[in-house]
Each structure stands twice: as C-alpha cells, then as structure tokens.
Amino acid sequence: MYRTALFLSIAISASVVAAPSLPRHADLDLATARQLADASLAHCTAAITVVDRGANLLLSLRADGVGPHNSVASQRKAYTALSSKTPTRLFAERARNNPEAANLNSLPELLLLGGGVPLFADNELVGALGIAGAGGAEQDEACAVNAANQLGLNITP
C-alpha cells in the first residue's frame, strides 16, 4: 500500500513538472471591438470588421447607406492586416513594387487595398480592424487609424 501511494505521488508530481510553460498573449475582446466600432463610426460612415489575434471575427457591422459589398471588403482588409502585420495600404504598395509579390492579389482571403490596420498593444499583435466604404482607401485607413489611436492601440509594433 505504501509503495502504491509513493508511486502515485511520484507519477502525479512528474506530470505537473512535465506540463509546458505556455506563453500568455493579450487579445482583443468583444467589449474592445465595440469601442473600436464606436470610435470608427465617430470618424466615418463605413463597414467595420474587428478580428482577434487568431483572425476570429469579433464584430462586423455596416452603417446605414453603405453598400453591402463593403462588409466583405472590411473583413478581408482586417484579415490582410492581421496576417501581414502591416497596414493594408502599405502592404498593397509594397506588393505593387515587388514583382515576386504580384500574385498576392490572387489569394481570395487577401485584399490589397487601404483600410485595414493591425492592432498592437505595446509590441504585441492583438487583432486587426478593417474599414471599407468611407470614401476610398485613404479615407478608410484614416478612419481605422483614428479609431485605433483613440483606444490607445498602435498600428505598428
């Protein structure tokens, strides 16, 4: 009986020691996504998408009068900004100037058009914001940048 108890205690303590120490990451939540949407709508009338660090959809909305195609565009912009860790207007410019990156526009998930920004808390990527339908790529991006800044999030690490 004593040996069995000793064996079990050693086995249990070994399994505790063997558990890896996994990194903890900051992530956007729904409350923050709503704040980003409100901040965006204060600057522009558009379709807005917020994704978390895993590209999971947190929020997607379209303001009255904004074309329905902009909902899909804002989601693709958010995904592109997250996956490239780069504002989409800059990413599109770099792709246009690099012949080896010319095929990026053939990936259906990416949208090489301004209006998507990655969101960083300090130096950690926490999600992305995509804006479409505010009047053009430059206006979409300005709206997204203003909303991120208003919440204290950065668009670069």
Give the per-residue SS3 of the chain: CHHHHHHHHHHHHHHHHHCCCCCCCCCCCHHHHHHHHHHHHHHCCCEEEEEECCCCEEEEEECCCCCCHHHHHHHHHHHHHHHHCCCHHHHHHHHHCCHHHHHHHHCCCCCCCCCEEEEEECCEEEEEEEEECCCCHHHHHHHHHHHHHHCCCECCC
For residues 28 and 17, give the distance between their C-alpha atoms in angstroms, rounded to a whole number. Answer: 31
The per-residue pLDDT for range 47-105, each reduced to its tens digit, is: 999 999 999 999 999 999 999 999 999 999 999 999 999 999 999 999 989 988 878 88
* pLDDT for position 15: 54
Q: Is residue 92 part of a domain?
A: yes
* pLDDT for position 10: 67
Indicate whether 7 pLDDT > 80: no
* CB-based contact 88:81 (threshold 8 Å): yes
* pLDDT for position 107: 87
Q: How many domains is the chain partitioned into structurally?
A: 1
Mean pLDDT of the chain: 91
Q: Is residue 14 part of a domain?
A: no
pTM for the structure as a whole = 0.85
Indicate whether 139 pLDDT > 60: yes
Better-scored residue on pLDDT, 108 or 67: 67
Q: Is residue 100 part of a domain?
A: yes
Q: Is residue 86 part of a domain?
A: yes
Q: Please tell me the least confidently modeled range out of 6-10, 35-39, 68-72.
A: 6-10
Q: How confident is the model at residue 23 (pLDDT cuts 50, 70, 90)?
A: confident
Indicate whether 11 pLDDT > 90: no
Indicate whether 144 pLDDT > 80: yes
The CATH number assigned to the domain holding 134 equals: 3.30.450.150
Q: Is residue 62 part of a domain?
A: yes
Q: Which domain holds residue 39?
A: 27-150
